[in-house]
Every structure is written in C-alpha cells, then in structure tokens.
Structure 1
Amino acid sequence: MPKRWTNVHGAYYYQVPKGLESAWDGKKKFRLGKTLPEAYKVWADRIGRTDNVRAVGDLLDRYALEVIPGKAPSTQTQNTASLKNIRTFFGTAPLSEVKPMHIYKYLDWRPAKTSGKREIEILSHAFTKAVEWGYIEKHPFAWQLRIESDAPRTRYVEDWEIVECLSIDSKRKKGSILAVQSYIRVKLLTGMRRGDLLRLSMSDLQDDGIHLTPNKTKKSTGKRVIIGWSEELREAVAMAKAARPVMIGPFLFCNRSGECYIDEATGRAGGWESLWRGFMARVLKETKVTERFTEHDLRAKCASDAETLAHAQALMTHADSRITDRIYRRKPEIVKPLR
C-alpha cells in the first residue's frame, strides 16, 4: 500500500501528516474506503495526479491509483499483492537506473519463479505508463529481456473420464452434483470461460443461440459471439435449468438464493469453488478417475476436440490463434506418412 496507509477493522485509512489536517476534513486519520478499489479512487480524487515521480516506488503509487482500479476485481487483488514484492526490491531505485540486469537479478531473488515473471509483467507495464506520462523517454527493458515462459499445461481429459464424472449419483434433486454435471456438459460444448458461464443469464438464451459478450474483452474490443444451438447443447442447457435450486432467477447457474456465484466486487466465486472441490473429491473417491483436473482443463478439452484450429479459436474467442494452438490444443497432431 502507499505510504501512511493502514488497514483497521476492515477499512483502509490514511494517516494524515501533521499540519495537513485541513486538506483532509480536519482529521488525523482519514477513512478512504472499505475495499482497495474504493480506497484508491478516494485517494486519487483527494491528491490528484502524482507529478513528482523520481523513483520506482513513486511510479508504482500512481500506477496503483490510476491503472489498477480499471482492471477486473480479481486482477486488482493480484496486482496489488504483486506490488509489495516489487516495492521491496525496486522501490527506491531511480527510474532512469533500472536496467535489464536488475530484472534478471529480481527473478533470481524471487523463490516463486512463476509469480516473479507475472510481477515483472506488471513492472514492465508500469514503465510503459511512465513513458506515456512523460517521466522517461523510453522503456528501459521491455525489448531487451529474454525470459523463458512457463511450459503450457498438458493435461488432456479423456472421454471416459467425463463419462465417469457424469455417472455420479446426486443425493439432491436440485443444485449440487446435478448443477456441476450440467455445467460440465455446457462447458465441453461451448468452451466458455468460467466467469462467462457463471454469469450466463436466462435472457442470453435466445432463439438463434446463446448470446455471449466475453467479460475478458467487454471493456476492450467488446466482441460479441452467438453460439448456435445443437441438439446436444439444448439438452445440456435444459439439464442446467432443471438443476437450478431456484427456478425463478436471472442466472442459468445460481446459488440457493438465486444469485450469481461471482461476487462482482471481488471477482471471486467462492461458493462455486467449494462446490467444484466437493465434486472432484467424490470423482476421485467413487470413480476410476485417478488424476484431478481443473475447469480450465475442460476448456482445453473443448479446444482440443474441435476439428480445426480455426473452430477452436472461435470457441475460445481468442484474437490470436497461436494462443489457442500453444495452450489449448492438447491432443497429439496426427500426421500422415509420405506415400
């Protein structure tokens, strides 16, 4: 957090420097807000833009004030946590003195290598903003680094494993196991991201198909997709409707109160994550499946089972087919021999 910030009883406060109380409603400790996004917004409105930026820590302050609040709630949380480690290593370094060698030293210093790479991505974006804001003339390291990316996950969920998952008996007539099983069916047919599938509303189910605006690109490209109906998809959606614990509600997948599983303030889906963990525990205990798989693996199965890369890319709603091919197409390529 920025200097002089504290978290007390679930809210964020600013400890006002002595003599500046008049600028903060006469208070020595000013309440900024209950959540980090709210606190950053109030902070930014109060102090305006930070123009006296000399060190990396100053740059990160402005980045936290103006850039992070515009990201998705879950990304905000991750970025804010990442800034702590970045500040520890780079906080007092002058902007003009950061070189590629310091980035490599940072990665050596961080025990969690994957997290370290994500943190460098955030630092790189902060320096991109520094160029935009006029603090430096050019990015000090973006085009000079050669950081190896992590190997993509290769877990491919076999068809027989899906059959095993769908064979589990439900102890309830609504929700629970039936909800997860219908969710799996819809996901394998459409390849939707978890957030899009859990946000799917009944009004999105129209005569010509499922109308989808991916949440990931809603604020950027605004790309819209219509997934046409097939008999299998209609049947899967019908099962999802029948499994809803609340029949009158706006969401296809909802909790017992009829509400969306996703908390839009945080981007988390705690209730659904608990439901999925419980389902996978039963899968491993009651079926022949021995290796756990994730929801992301199901999305990859959808892409892998598509007949062509172009079809897989369309299902994944990816702008670049290379992402689809490298990360989501997990089945071996079948190559014909020469005659």
Structure 2
Amino acid sequence: MPKPRRKENKGLPERWTAHHGAYYYYVPKGMESAWEGKKKYKLGNSLPEAYAKYAEMVDVKDKITTVGELLDRYVLEVVPTKAKATQNGNHAFIKRLRATFSETPLLPFHPQRVYQYVQARKAKVSAHREVEILSHAYTKAVEWGLIAAHPFKGEVRLEGEASRSRYVEDWEVIEFFSLDSKRKKGSVLMIQAYVKLKLLTGMSQGDLLRLQIPIHKQDDGIHIMRHKTAKKAGIRTIYAWTPALKSAWEQAVSARPCLSSFLFCNAKGKGYVNEEKGTQAGFKSMWQRYMARLLKETDLKEPFTEHDLRAKVGSDAKSLEHAMMLLSHADPRTTQKTYRRKAVLVNPLQ
C-alpha cells in the first residue's frame, strides 16, 4: 500500500513533491536519461514555473483517464492564456481540486460530487471558484475530444454569493477630492488624477495602470484593448477627448514623480503592474493609505474600493449599452449583475 502523501504535497500531480520552497519531480526508474540523468528533477520555485517546465518534458495529452490528468492538461494549455493575476488564482484553486479529485475517474462524474465538494468546504466563495474551474476543464475535455458531453453542466445550481452592492454617492466623491497635498507631485495628486480618469472612463485598474503616453494617447482619444480579455473578446475602446478627460490626463502627467512612458509610475519611473505576478502592490498600498486618511480627516464613514468606482461609472451611465461600452464588456449580463448598483426610482401607482 503506497504511503500517504505529506500535507504540502496534497493537490500536486503524481510524483511531484514540494521541498524547501521548490517543486521537484521523482523520475520513474529507467527514465532518468530523459530527465538529464536525474532521479529527482527540480521543476521550479513556483507552481506556474514548475508546470511550464513539466510541459516541456512531458506530453500529457494522450493519457487522460482521471480528473487529475485533465486538470494537468488544463494547467498546461488553458491557464497560461489568462491574465497573470488570474493564473495565480487558478493554480491555487486547481491544487485544492486535485487534493479531492486527483484519482477520480474522468467518467462517470455525477453532479452530486460537486454538491458534496462545496458542502465539505468552509470557504464557500473559493469553493464556487474551484467548481467553475472544474466545469471549464470538463468543457475543454469535450472540445479536446476526450468525452462526448459535459457531465454536470446545467445540472448543478449552487447557491451563489451576493454581488457587492456598495454604491459610491456623489458627496463621497467630493469628500475623496478634498484631501490636500503637501507636495506638487506624488501619491495624493496621483491618486486624485487616477480617480478622475476612472470616473470619466470606467477603465479597470489594470488598464489604467498600464497606460503609456506614447502608446495609448492618440489624437482622437485614449486607445485601449482591455488587458483582461485581450486574448478572448479583444474589445478595442477609444475614449474620446473631452475638456474634462484632457484635464485629468494632464493632471496625471504632472503628478508623476519623474519622467516616464507610464502615465502612473513610481519614483523610479516604472509602472505599478508586476507583469510576472499580475499584481499592483505599490499602487494598492497608496490607495489604502489614502483611504485611511479619508476616514480620519473627512465625513466619509464607510470605505469604498477602487473597483466600487468602476461600478459607479457603470451605474451612472444613462443606459446599459453605454455602460457596456465604457467598461469594455462583451456580455451585458456581467454589466447588469455586477456594475449597475444604483437604486432605480419607481413612480407609485396613482
């Protein structure tokens, strides 16, 4: 009987092990020559790096009989097409899925297994995201010709978590801009310019922080292709210049601590997005400090997130169609469910 896997190895592919901050592969006996003569081969220091290296060394396409093997192929072929931040989340979700379903046969897979999985997990929101990954993996299995039909699509109805409903009122925006800056450049003026652009365009954080003056500033407006969906929907948006938009852009330019191609940059002239990790740590720290000052120095009582401002743009747009265009959405259901938060005024019957 094989030894049970150590806790840190649960959720990893077969023959993988985590050791001293890195991931290794125990080479099957007799296969050492294909792995540089090693019995224990280092794959990488992170899960994305390890999977990428594993993909170079092994072809998993022709031997998929379990959910674990399906997830392996999904990691190698689908996850790398997503945004970096999404990839990081996917790797964490898939590791949890593998801990439960690694040896589960690909078929039959009954819908009850999904309900049992979610019920057993304390973190329900994460469990829902994990089920979404599992469902998409089965959708890809149909596409790849591994199975004839999705075994639980349309058969599972999970109780969804409530969408965030925080609507930022106009008076709160006024309070937001009331903070004074002791410097002619720097974080306060940069955050304020950032929010002005956000409220005028509804651009996502990632798209705003990736703006580069020589690339995105054109004669007719600000040109972007939304980064998150560039490989899928490929929606291009042009935000036409208005006096207010030009003013916000110029404020952002003048607020920079140094010359840079980026509209928003740190003291070294670098952008805030870490493309390798898909994070914006420096900017988020600035936002948190600014919000802390707001709660202490103004009449603002409830904090709001940068994403709540994107939802305010979607809510304040005069029509759903206009909101979709501002937010660069391809599906109106996403706009309606998540970004239209403003209360609707209804006249009572006479």
Normalising by structure 2, we get a TM-score of 0.91
1:40 touches 1:69 (CA, 8 Å); kept in 2? no
Secondary structure at 1:266's aligned position in 2?
A: coil
What is the one-letter code of the residue matched to 1:205?
K
Shift of 1:95: 1.4
Counterparts of 1:173 and 1:26, CA distance in 2: 61
Shift of 1:256: 1.1
Shift of 1:150: 2.1
What is the one-letter code of the residue matched to 1:166?
F
Counterparts of 2:59 and 2:113, CA distance in 1: 31
**Which residue of the other structure, out of 238, 241, 255, is the alignment partner of 1:243?**
255
1:44 touches 1:66 (CA, 8 Å); kept in 2? no
Instruction: Report what 1:22 is aligned to.
Output: 33
Counterparts of 2:69 and 2:229, CA distance in 1: 30
Question: Over residues 52-76 of structure 1, what are the superposed CA-to-partner deviations in whole Å (9 max), with x where a residue is unaligned?
Answer: 2222122222222222222211111
Normalising by structure 1, we get a TM-score of 0.94
Instruction: Report what 2:241 is aligned to.
Output: 229
**Which residue of the other structure, out of 84, 93, 114, is the alignment partner of 2:104?**
93
Instruction: Report what 1:120 is aligned to.
Output: 131
Alpha carbons of structure 1 residues 89 and 30: separation in structure 2 relative to 1, 3 Å: closer
What is the one-letter code of the residue matched to 2:223?
H
2:222 touches 2:240 (CA, 8 Å); kept in 1? yes
2:314 touches 2:335 (CA, 8 Å); kept in 1? yes
Number of equivalenced pairs: 338
Matched, 1:2 2:10: no
Matched, 1:47 2:48: no
Instruction: Report what 1:71 is aligned to.
Output: 82
2:43 touches 2:53 (CA, 8 Å); kept in 1? yes
Shift of 1:313: 1.4
Shift of 1:199: 0.2
Shift of 1:31: 2.9
Instruction: Report what 1:302 is aligned to.
Output: 313
1:131 touches 1:138 (CA, 8 Å); kept in 2? yes
Matched, 1:103 2:103: no
Question: Over residues 64-106 of structure 1, what are the superposed CA-to-partner deviations in whole Å (9 max), with x where a residue is unaligned?
Answer: 2222222211111111111122122222221113211111111
**Which residue of the other structure, out of 164, 189, 203, is the alignment partner of 1:153?**
164
After superposition, the CA RMSD in angstroms is: 1.7
Shift of 1:37: 3.0
* Identity percentage of aligned residues: 54
What is the one-letter code of the residue matched to 2:306?
E
Counterparts of 2:144 and 2:318, CA distance in 1: 46
Counterparts of 1:172 and 1:15, CA distance in 2: 57
Counterparts of 1:41 and 1:68, CA distance in 2: 11
Gaps of 5+ in 1: none
Matched, 1:179 2:190: yes
Counterparts of 2:31 and 2:189, CA distance in 1: 59
Alpha carbons of structure 1 residues 12 and 87: separation in structure 2 relative to 1, 3 Å: closer
Secondary structure at 2:343's aligned position in 1?
A: coil
Counterparts of 2:95 and 2:48, CA distance in 1: 16
Shift of 1:8: 4.8
Shift of 1:337: 4.8
Counterparts of 2:316 and 2:290, CA distance in 1: 24
Counterparts of 2:300 and 2:100, CA distance in 1: 44
What is the one-letter code of the residue matched to 1:304?
S
Secondary structure at 2:107's aligned position in 1?
A: helix
What is the one-letter code of the residue matched to 2:112?
M
Gaps of 5+ in 2: 1-11
Instruction: Report what 1:205 is aligned to.
Output: 217
